[in-house]
Amino acid sequence: MDDIGLRFRPFHLAPHNPGKLHAVGFGCTPLALIGQLGNIWLARPTTAAGIRGAVTERITMRGSAPIPYMIDGDFHTGVQSLTVEVGPRVRLLVP
């Protein structure tokens, strides 16, 4: 899925890479992110320093404290290492 709502598409490489995920990390100022919203909406690569994207099968994040995360709108507290992997492909039927 590349559209996160309102036609914003930060994961524009995901549909072109089946079996992989497009991860995007933001380590920039809020102003720099705002300056990139046009690129994100148009599904183009971002150009600001501090915004990195990668196509991969797995991401592992490590921290010095438990890492909070959200799935489907529900917040959870994990451990100091959080791994996200590609799972089986799901087919959605829309009436």
Q: What is the pLDDT of residues 14-37, one digit of tens each?
A: 889 999 999 988 899 999 999 999
- CA atoms within a 13 Å half-sphere pointing along the CA-CB vector of 52: 5
* % of the chain surpassing 90 pLDDT: 34
17-45 burial, b at 16+ Cβ within 10 Å, e below that, comes to eeeebbbeeeebeeebeeebeebbeebee
Biggest alpha carbon–alpha carbon distance for the chain: 46
List the Cα angle 30/35/75 in 5-degree steps: 40
Question: What pTM was computed for the model?
Answer: 0.72
